[in-house]
Copies of this chain bind each other. A is one copy, B any other.
């Protein structure tokens, strides 16, 4: 177990949604934020950077949304259910937009970093959708 998982397991406040799905979602959000930041930088290092500006922009958007979502979900007690649902929906939309763009560059330009990023985005999209459906 990571330190974060141990921390969530030991938290006394009962979260409003299922603890396991929420714990997986928090991890997925922070990993996706990190991978999207890395993908933005890898795109900036490519000789074809002028074809990747929309990808960089969506990477940065997705990193910001995932980080905010991960932080909000990490506050396990006393939150606003309406806010949590709306932020999860925004995260689903951010991951979907970024994944679609990265999948395109992974397939048509052979960019390995975009392929890895698309996978992380799809996993985060699924993890957020799972928490949303359980809500």
A residues within 8 Å of B by Cβ? 2-4, 6-8, 10-13, 26, 30-31, 33-35, 37-42, 44-45, 47, 49-50, 53-54, 56-58, 60-61, 64-65, 67-68, 70-72, 74-80, 82-83, 86-87, 89-90, 92-94, 96-97, 112-113, 116-117, 119-120
Minimum Cβ distance to chain B for residue A52 (Å): 9
| Cα(A3)–Cα(B41), bound, Å | 15
- Determine which of B35, B37, B86, B97 lies in contact with A80 in the assembled complex, contact meaning CB atoms within 8 Å: B97
Q: How many copies does the complex hold?
A: 4
Chain B residues with CB under 8 A of A113: 7, 10-11
Q: Are A12 and B45 closer than 8 Å at their CB atoms?
A: yes
Nearest opposing residue in chain B for A50, CB measure? B49
A64-B71, A79-B61, A120-B3 given as contacts; is B12 within 8 A of A42 (CB)? Answer: yes
Q: Are B79 and A45 closer than 8 Å at their CB atoms?
A: no
- Determine which of B13, B34, B92 lies in contact with A30 in the assembled complex, contact meaning CB atoms within 8 Å: B34
| Cα(A12)–Cα(B93), bound, Å | 26
Nearest opposing residue in chain B for A66, CB measure? B68
Q: Are B7 and A31 closer than 8 Å at their CB atoms?
A: no
Q: Are B86 and A86 closer than 8 Å at their CB atoms?
A: yes
Minimum Cβ distance to chain B for residue A35 (Å): 5
Nearest opposing residue in chain B for A88, CB measure? B90
